[in-house]
Amino acid sequence: MTTPLPPRADDALSYAVISCSGEWRLLTSHRQFGHFHRRASAWALAVELAKEAAASGRPVELLLQGEDSDFTLNFVYRSPATAPAP
């Protein structure tokens, strides 16, 4: 059995907005949190958390679960200081 490596500072942090038992939750690092009645409310918190993480220099992916249960990558936030040059 191998132990997973700890995340590096340049590894993307992922936040997923998921549907769970009739409500919406955020999922990150194999942990669910929040109980939202509307997907938009969960999404607003995910965006806010992504901005905070990006400001500290970590890239962040935001995923949104659709009606078909598939996930769509909606945004990748990166701090301007760490973003690749065009």
Please tell me the pTM assigned to this model.
0.68
* pLDDT band, residue 6 (cuts 50/70/90): very low
The DSSP code sequence of 21-82 is: TTEEEEEETTEEEEEESSHHHHHHHHHHHHHHHHHTT--EEEEEE-TTS-EEEEEEE--TTT
pLDDT by residue (tens digit) across 32-84? 888 999 989 998 998 888 888 888 888 888 888 876 666 665 656 555 554 45
Name the residue ranges covered by the structural domains of the chain: 13-71
Q: In the prediction, which pLDDT does 8 show?
A: 54
